[in-house]
Structure 1
Amino acid sequence: MNGVELFLLGRTLMKIGETAMPEPEGGSGRYGGSTRAVLIVASDVAAHPDSAVGEIASRTGLPQSQVSTSVARLKEAGAAITAPDPADRRRLLVRQAPELSARVMKVRAGTIEDALAAALADSTPEDRKEVADALEVLARHLSPRTSARARTRDKAPQ
């Protein structure tokens, strides 16, 4: 597998993940680009608690305005909290909420079986189990926190 194939696989997995999530509240249809940004920010916040919006924007490559909007949506959903930075009261630090909101619990309670079956329409149940098991292995090794540790190690002086 090369970098392009890995990138395309990642996009396919994102689409399957979007299909597996429950419909957004308010009947606004499937997830759009702005919701993807919220998920990217939520993942970064999980890996880097107490980060400022500018730091999240730098790590994710999203515009600062989009990160700010995503943080507001996460706060509204009860998934994140903010607090003033003690070192610079003008900045807000973002972290995951200590308690899961009903919306977050609903999203996390969903499973991928139906979305995976749809994506692998011509596959056998054994094939789908093999793919699901492989995804579990990838999730264990490549979680946002694991990826953050790898990036931190890469930047450490040798």
Structure 2
Amino acid sequence: MNGVELFLLGRTLMKIGEQAMPEPKSGPRGSVRSVLVTLGDIVTHPGTTVGEITARTGLPQSQVSTAVARLEETGSITTAPDPTDRRRRLIHPAARPSPRVAEVRATTIDAALATALTTPDGTPPPPETLTEITTALEALARHLTPETATRAREL
């Protein structure tokens, strides 16, 4: 596998992950991808600001601001004024998982993965294929964490 193949695989996995995410029942919609990227950055850098997230992720400030609003409304994060500069807000992961976070964590990828692997003629993948791929993804998730990605960016 080369870098391009890994990049394309990552994009495919992101799209399957997006399909597996349950839709929020209320609140601002926003891009699932920008919300997840923003949340991942907040978890890795608690006490951050919208500007800092924008700089680290490369997302436009408007997308980060929308994602922060959505995450705050769902109870996934908290914000508070920066004591050194009251114009800025510091963003932290919520101390306890919100009902939305619990819902997302409880939703498996099974249906989205099965849909992605269904052949053009409608033949579903065999159960052993789903098990094999899910097991491989679980192994990757154990070894390739958000902290791994941070270290890779620092190289």
- TM beyond 0.5: yes
Name the amino acid aligned to 1:143: T
CA–CA distance in 2 between the matches of 1:81 and 1:142? Answer: 27
| Residue 17, structure 1, aligned to residue 17, structure 2 | yes
Determine the structure 1 residue equivalent to 2:126. 124
CA–CA distance in 2 between the matches of 1:88 and 1:149? Answer: 30
> How far has the Cα of 1:61 moved from its partner?
0.5
Q: Structure 1: which 5+ runs fail to align?
A: none
TM-score (norm 1): 0.84
Asked if 2 retains the 8 angstrom alpha-carbon contact of 1:46 and 1:144, the reply is no
> How far has the Cα of 1:120 moved from its partner?
1.8
| 1:5-154 correspondence to structure 2 within 5 Å | 5-26=5-26, 34-121=31-118, 122-151=124-153, 154=155
Number of aligned pairs?
A: 150
1:80-100 deviation per Cα after TM superposition (whole angstroms, max 9, x unaligned): 111222332222111111111
CA–CA distance in 1 between the matches of 2:12 and 2:153? Answer: 24
Identity %: 62
Q: Structure 2: which 5+ runs fail to align?
A: 119-123
Name the amino acid aligned to 2:23: E
Asked if 2 retains the 8 angstrom alpha-carbon contact of 1:16 and 1:119, the reply is yes
Report the RMSD for the aligned CA atoms in angstroms. 2.1
Q: Tell me the SS of whatever aligns to 1:84.
A: strand
Name the amino acid aligned to 2:57: T
- Using the TM superposition, name which of 125-134 and 68-77 deviates more: 125-134
Asked if 2 retains the 8 angstrom alpha-carbon contact of 1:46 and 1:145, the reply is no
Name the amino acid aligned to 1:68: S
